[in-house]
Amino acid sequence: AEQSAQAALETSERRFREILEHSRDIVYKVDLSTGDYEFLSPSTRALVGLSPEEVVALGAEGLATLIPKEDQAKRRMYFDQLAAGAASPQHQICEYRMRRSNGEYGWFSEIASNIKDEAGRPISRIGTIRDISWLKQAEQAMHASSRMEATATLAGGIAHDFNNLMAAVLGNAELLEMKFARDTDSRRMLRAIAQAAVQAGNLAHQMLAFAQGGKYAPTLVNLNQIIEDVLRLEEHTFPKNVRMARALARDLWHMTADPAQISQVILNLSLNAVEAMPDGGEIRFITENCLLEQALPDVDLQPGRYVRLRVQDTGHGMTDEVRARVFEPFFTTRFQGRGLGLAAVYGIVQNHNGHIRASSRPGEGAVFEILLPAATERALSGAVKSQELPVGHETILLVEDEDLLVNTMREILERLGYTVLMACNGREAVALAERHDGPIHLTLLDMAMPVMGGAEAFPLLMKARPKMKVILCSGYEMDVAAQRLMDAGAAGFLHKPVRAHTLVTAIRQALDEGKCRD
């Protein structure tokens, strides 16, 4: 019987040991009088990158140094509650962040109980520590999505109104430029006003791109100009001990890219470099043309013309292990970060058929190198247009609810020879189209208006005037509603604020594609 009991005990101990050795959680027992671990399961290596022997050498106090200070306080409070005999301590869980051996922070949950002596004094603590990083990442992603949705709605509304205001500023500046055609100084100042309005519109476009979740809207851009625009807006927000340097090629090739997304690349790389230099340093932006005569090894790029961007910093650098994972979503070595900035950069570069790579050594800073396809000759030739404003004699129905903007557009069009009819919403436009005796060759139709918007008015306008051309206008980017109207026969889409040359060129192209007889 005694041998049978001994065998059963050994079997039970073996099973218990197997469970502990194969558990994904860290199971421990610590002596509260010395702070020494009496037992640690082998899973410490998988969860924090340290062997049980290394953790034992650190001791309970040493292990706590891997936890951020604010989380240390929370963990001490949890243990104090255990020592005070809080109700049902086995159901209380403490969550905190801890730095792994590779420098990456992870989220962990700990549940513990105290073992007491006959006098009721705690003498040791047993507990389990579980890696819950995946759960926290999911929670952060859900919360971020909710915040982004609310912020995006606000940003979209602000950007729309901002675009309408800038359209009025831009239009009036160009009207004055026409009036002062022979006054060189006045024209120079007015062009500066117009350029400022265009840049403000570009800023609003970036807000809209954020609001629409990163939709891809490529156009012909110059990378140097995007870098300058981003740094002009953001440089003053960086720490004073961080210097920004530029080495931008004067003859840099143009690209066909989404300016809002490329701006996000510049901003994210800048912020990443700033965070890598807590004691200050230099961030250098370098651009140059690059002609690939043959494919590069391990790089999915075809031979051809590319624009190269390098962003260098003098920060603390990266280990090979960190560098290999630096573009992974949610990967971060900073416990307050979400690890999405460089992942977004990678996605944008891939979306533009480009390539990005990082090179770094600990203590030697980092270099992020990006290759993006240069614009084709066809795109470049299509962008070179005469700056003379084309004139006309047709009748145009202008449907716009912003008084400042409608008066400006009317004056521009009348100066160029057009007859202009005006309506402040879709309902007025439809009524005017039905009762007007003469021809209406083209309608400029705003999408967002009170009473009746463009989407509702378009089919009614086409029913009243089947041969009339319609160009859609909006302070928003083209959305599903606008695309449906384009598919239904709209002649074009203009994103406000729009330059006078762009406006009248679009009008002439629409009218000249098929002369309208009404």
Residue for token pair 């010395």: 34
Q: Give the whole-angstrom CA distance, residue 479 versus residue 513.
A: 25
Q: What is the pLDDT of residues 170-184, one digit of tens each?
A: 778 777 877 777 788
Domains contained in the chain, CATH given: 22-131 (3.30.450.20), 219-384 (3.30.565.10), 385-513 (3.40.50.2300)
Which pLDDT does position 260 carry in this prediction? 78
Total Cβ atoms within 10 A of residue 309:
28
Which pLDDT does position 460 carry in this prediction? 96
Mean per-residue pLDDT of the chain: 82
**Taking residues 489-516, what's their average pLDDT?**
84
Which pLDDT does position 382 carry in this prediction? 52
Q: What is the pLDDT of residues 280-305, one digit of tens each?
A: 999 999 999 999 887 766 667 888 89
Residue with more model confidence, 348 or 144:
348
Q: Give the whole-angstrom CA distance, residue 489 versus residue 207.
A: 29
Lowest average pLDDT, out of 194-203, 319-328, 422-431, 449-458, goes to 194-203
- pLDDT over 60 at 385, yes or no: no
Q: Tell me the Ramachandran region of residue 281: left when phi exceeds 0, alpha when psi lies from -120 to 50, beta otherwise.
A: left
Q: What is the pLDDT of residues 430-472, one digit of tens each?
A: 999 999 999 999 999 999 888 999 999 999 999 999 999 999 9
Q: Give the whole-angstrom CA distance, residue 515 versus residue 518.
A: 10
How is residue 117 written in tokens? 């002596």
pTM over 0.75: no
Which pLDDT does position 517 carry in this prediction? 42
Which pLDDT does position 218 carry in this prediction? 75
Q: Which residues contact 387 (CB under 8 A, 6 or more apart)?
A: 501
* Percent of the chain whose predicted confidence (pLDDT) is above 90: 30
**Taking residues 478-496, what's their average pLDDT?**
88
Which pLDDT does position 386 carry in this prediction? 46
Helix spans in 394-469 (H) = 403-415, 426-435, 454-464
The secondary structure of 166-184 as a DSSP string is HHHHHHHHHHHHHHTTT-H
Which pLDDT does position 335 carry in this prediction? 42
Q: Tell me the Ramachandran region of residue 214: left when phi exceeds 0, alpha when psi lies from -120 to 50, beta otherwise.
A: left
Instruction: Report the DSSP beta bridge partners of residue 359.
Output: 367
Q: What is the pLDDT of residues 214-246, one digit of tens each?
A: 555 677 889 999 999 888 878 888 888 999 999
Q: Give the whole-angstrom CA distance, residue 345 versus residue 356.
A: 9
Instruction: Give 203's pLDDT tier (boundaries 50, 70, 90).
Output: low
**Taking residues 127-136, what's their average pLDDT?**
88
Please state, in angstroms and as integers, the Cα–Cα distance from residue 396 to each residue in 295, 323, 488, following that order.
Answer: 52, 58, 20
**Taking residues 495-509, what's their average pLDDT?**
86
Q: What is the pLDDT of residues 387-407, one digit of tens each?
A: 567 889 999 999 998 887 888
Which pLDDT does position 384 carry in this prediction? 46
* Three-state secondary-structure class, residue 231: helix
Which pLDDT does position 19 carry in this prediction? 72
Instruction: Give 333's pLDDT tier (boundaries 50, 70, 90).
Output: low
Helices (H) and strands (E) in the chain, counts: 16, 17
**Taking residues 69-73, what's their average pLDDT?**
88
Q: Give the whole-angstrom CA distance, residue 209 versus residue 260.
A: 6
**Taking residues 356-367, what's their average pLDDT?**
90
Which pLDDT does position 62 carry in this prediction? 84
- pLDDT over 50 at 306, yes or no: yes
Q: Give the whole-angstrom CA distance, residue 246 versus residue 283.
A: 8
Instruction: Give 40's pLDDT tier (boundaries 50, 70, 90).
Output: confident
User: Residues 507, 396: contact at Cβ < 8 Å?
Assistant: yes
User: Residues 399, 158: contact at Cβ < 8 Å?
Assistant: no
Residue with more model confidence, 210 or 140:
140
